[in-house]
Structure 1
Amino acid sequence: MSGHLDNDIVIAAPLDLVWRIANDVERWPELFVDEYAAAELIEVDGERKVFRLTMVPDEQGRQRSWVSERITDPERHTVNSRRVETGPFLYMHIFQHFAEIPGGTRVRWVQDFEVLPEAPFTTEQVADRIGRNSLAQLLRHKEFIETEAALA
């Protein structure tokens, strides 16, 4: 069984600023609150970035890490990304779209994934966790980027 999540938020900031901050992978530990301890670029080839994300330690002190690939399309303001090191997932794909609208920029995240049968959790459990976390992180993006826009 696959998981599918589709969330969005409007950020009261210009498209170019939202795009620039949201796609600055090296700033993700600052942008994603209580999520990433480190974001290390491994390879950059034009609009394609390969990078390692390391999570903040969980309640048991474990830190998870994986490699992802992200391809940005600045003309369409879209991003396609996927986990290269899939860990407990059969696949994890994320599509993002940024659109200028009255009052700011609409940011949309679409996440499609499936966990491996031997994973210690179900797709439904992951969908619930990712769903809650995505909404919290979108709110964090809004707060962070709107603050940056006010300072600019």
Structure 2
Amino acid sequence: MKPAAARTENSIVIDAPFDIVWHMTNDVANWPRLFSEYASAEILHRDGDTVRFRLALHPEEDGKVWSWVSERVMDRANKYVRAHRVEPGPFAFMNIHWYYRQTDAGVEMRWVQEFHMKQDAPLDDEGMAARINANSKVQLALIKERVEAAARNRTRAGVGR
């Protein structure tokens, strides 16, 4: 019997053209400059719209560095990305869905994460959901700020007119 999945959902509207939002949020190699939580992102394999990569967080106070391998499949035509952890670490599984939707105010980017923690993990599903929800708000606000700044800079430079 498969364990029940915990689920989180977080979103933000980014006031920038879809092309810029899509490119910046799917340029995994540059995620350490887009997200504040990642110290490094290493591309391990790329095949068309599928990328396998290793992410590492910044070290914790005790020096521990959390790192894992994920795989991401991008579907630009349908404005959708699905990803999962290949090396799940403390998760029994972790699936992430990114949805993009054009709105009058910009591009809505929505993250849906479905996961289940291993029994010996430092947090249970409820604790991890709370952590993911809190961190997603921080990361989404930062992504919004950085993508909107890039869009303004491109407009000032005459790119994309």
TM-score interval w.r.t. the shorter chain? Answer: over 0.9
How far 1:2 moved relative to its partner? 2.6
How far 1:3 moved relative to its partner? 1.5
In the other structure, the counterpart of 2:14 is 11
Structure 1 counterpart of 2:55, one-letter code: L
Q: Does 1:51 align with 2:49?
A: no
Q: Does 1:24 align with 2:23?
A: no
Distance 1:50 1:143 in 2: 27
In the other structure, the counterpart of 2:79 is 77
In the other structure, the counterpart of 2:159 is none
Structure 1, unmatched stretches of 5+, are none
Q: Secondary structure, in 3 states, of the residue corresponding to 1:125?
A: helix
Structure 1 counterpart of 2:109, one-letter code: V
Greater Rg over alpha carbons, structure:
2
How far 1:117 moved relative to its partner? 1.0
Structure 1 counterpart of 2:5, one-letter code: S
Q: Secondary structure, in 3 states, of the residue corresponding to 1:75?
A: helix
Q: Secondary structure, in 3 states, of the residue corresponding to 2:78?
A: coil
Q: What is the TM-score normalised by the length of structure 1?
A: 0.97
In the other structure, the counterpart of 2:95 is 93
Structure 1 counterpart of 2:10, one-letter code: N
In the other structure, the counterpart of 2:110 is 108
Deviation digits for residues 38-73 of structure 1 (CA, Å, limit 9, x no counterpart):
000000000000000011111222111110000000
In the other structure, the counterpart of 2:149 is 147
Runs of 4+ in 1 over 3 A off after TM superposition: none
In the other structure, the counterpart of 2:157 is none
Distance 1:59 1:77 in 2: 38
Report the number of matched residues. 151
Distance 1:3 1:140 in 2: 25
Deviation digits for residues 67-118 of structure 1 (CA, Å, limit 9, x no counterpart):
0000000100100000000011010000001111112100000000100112
Q: What is the TM-score normalised by the length of structure 2?
A: 0.91
Structure 1 counterpart of 2:20, one-letter code: L
Distance 2:132 2:60 in 1: 15
Structure 2, unmatched stretches of 5+, are 155-161
